[in-house]
Amino acid sequence: MSVSTKPTFVHYGDFDSSSRKLPVMEFMERFRDDFDTGSFDTKWYMPDFTYVAPDGKATEGREKSIQALKDLYGPLPRWHHEASYLNCYETESGYEMIGKATLWADLPGKPATGEEKRTDRNGKQWDLAGPGTFFFQYVSSGGGFALRRVEITADTSQIVIGSLKRGVISLKDLGIA
């Protein structure tokens, strides 16, 4: 049986000089670095941008999708995505990328008794570290690229449990009590 294949750029580790050789991955690194400052600048996204959250809920339209991203990341005082693997390939309208990354983040509120910090590759300490898988669709735009779609697959329970332990949220906030 014959199977159709397509050329794919495969990269292990965080973004570096090798990944920057593919212009769309150089764009992705700049986007990630800006996003990790807490910026939700619209310049990175197409007007028809779609965001699919870890719970599977799809939000369509740039403004609504950015708000959904703010709802997910906004409560975190600080975060950083450290890429560990990606594959990127060309499509008719641009590129798609599937990648794995660790989300390093701090939680709001004062640490609960017994909490332990996690340390990233650069020696920075964080309240949590969680693996995630990300799917991105990029389109050519204005001589560069823009995001058309982002899907996040991740276990967000660390954020919820940590926020509960710190008293930042309650079971009532979750609709449980």
Tens of pLDDT, residues 9-62? 999 999 999 999 999 999 999 999 999 999 999 999 999 999 999 999 999 999
Please write down the HEC assignment for all residues of the chain.
CCCCCCCCEEEECCCCCCHHHCHHHHHHHHHHHHHCCCCCCHHHEEEEEEEECCCCCEEECHHHHHHHHHHHHCCCCEEEEEEEEEEEEECCCEEEEEEEEEEEEECCCCCCCCCCCEECCCCCEECEEEEEEEEEEEEEECCEEEEEEEEEEECCHHHHHHHHHCCCCCCCCCCCC
| pLDDT score of 52 | 99
Can you give the pTM of this predicted structure?
0.93
Tens of pLDDT, residues 113-169? 999 999 999 999 999 999 999 999 999 988 899 999 999 999 999 999 999 999 999
Tens of pLDDT, residues 75-112? 999 999 999 999 999 999 999 999 999 999 999 999 99
| pLDDT score of 105 | 98
- CATH architecture of the domain covering 9-103+127-154: Roll (3.10)
